[in-house]
Structure 1
């Protein structure tokens, strides 16, 4: 039997340990706002990958109707949030299945939220006497290399929906 020198054994163990651990780290601060919507950074953290820098970009492709927000890590979009004003009566589950091709989404908050491990949808109803009757949908999607996490998406969509409601998003009736 041949014995390996101690230095060779130590080098082999260090190399093996480096390969087994998660050497990638998050070098950026996790945002506490998604395009003007304040959220707890802890709600976003589990969905974001390691990387050097994060950026958040807002767009209004259809002013007063659709707003998008993209989160990129190292210039790769890993998460998007879209808000859309729509006709009343939309169902979160229907949007998840029809628009996001979600298979068997789970529901929460009296079925105004639907979510999977890579997408979530919520509906905010505007039906008070002094506001225009409409719904506002919020859609969150996670893209590779973002982390798919069903529980984290449920938490984030719940947080985004609560923040939206606090901002009084429903338009006053005209006339």
Structure 2
């Protein structure tokens, strides 16, 4: 069996006592494309999944991934003042406990949450003196994987930089 086939089988079989996923993991979060495997590690088994966008204030966009009626993962795009650090932004969100900061200070990640700072090339005329940050929070019980979270926030921040949000 190929590695991809083994991974697909293990993701659906629930061999470790996990409930089966009877839904397809989303390949985009509110318009930002993402490899579904990066998100899969943080989603529970269940029957259905939906993605619900919202804008809680003028500079923030939120995207909730909901499995069987419960928020499992929340992704946030938020503009913060230039010069803020990933650590400062992370302090404003739950699920960042014991976060590790990357050597370049662009990312903070824990097993259940992360923050990524977009590059200076990401600009918006609506937010001329601000930097766009990506935030991921995991609300699924017993889902904590700092390595998977680092891969998720790095890929998501890059996809955000390449999106219309940064033009």
Normalising by structure 2, we get a TM-score of 0.79
Q: In structure 2, the residue corresponding to 1:47 is in which secondary structure?
A: coil
RMSD: 2.5
Normalising by structure 1, we get a TM-score of 0.76
Counterpart of 1:140 in structure 2 is 136
Aligned equivalents of 2:153 and 2:121: distance in 1? 21
Are 2:95 and 2:112, in contact at CA under 8 Å, matched by a contact in 1? Answer: no
**Alignment pair present for 1:26 and 2:15:** no
Aligned equivalents of 2:43 and 2:90: distance in 1? 21
The gaps in structure 2 that reach 5 residues or longer are 1-14
Q: How does 1:13-52 map to 2 (within 5 A)?
A: 22=17, 24-52=19-47
Bigger Cα Rg: 1
Are 2:111 and 2:145, in contact at CA under 8 Å, matched by a contact in 1? Answer: yes
Counterpart of 1:82 in structure 2 is 76
C-alpha change, 1:153 and 1:130, in structure 2 (3 Å) is: closer
Counterpart of 1:112 in structure 2 is 106
Q: Deviations 1:46-72 (Å, cap 9, x if unpaired)?
A: 111111111100011224x11000001
State which of 69, 85, 90 in structure 2 corresponds to 1:91: 85
Aligned equivalents of 2:155 and 2:93: distance in 1? 22
Aligned equivalents of 1:160 and 1:100: distance in 2? 19
State which of 145, 148, 152 in structure 2 corresponds to 1:152: 148
Between 1:49-58 and 1:150-159, the stretch displaced more is 150-159
Are 2:25 and 2:49, in contact at CA under 8 Å, matched by a contact in 1? Answer: yes
The gaps in structure 1 that reach 5 residues or longer are 1-19
Q: In structure 1, the residue corresponding to 2:96 is in which secondary structure?
A: coil
Q: In structure 2, the residue corresponding to 1:27 is in which secondary structure?
A: coil
Counterpart of 1:122 in structure 2 is 116
Aligned length: 151
Q: In structure 1, the residue corresponding to 2:116 is in which secondary structure?
A: strand
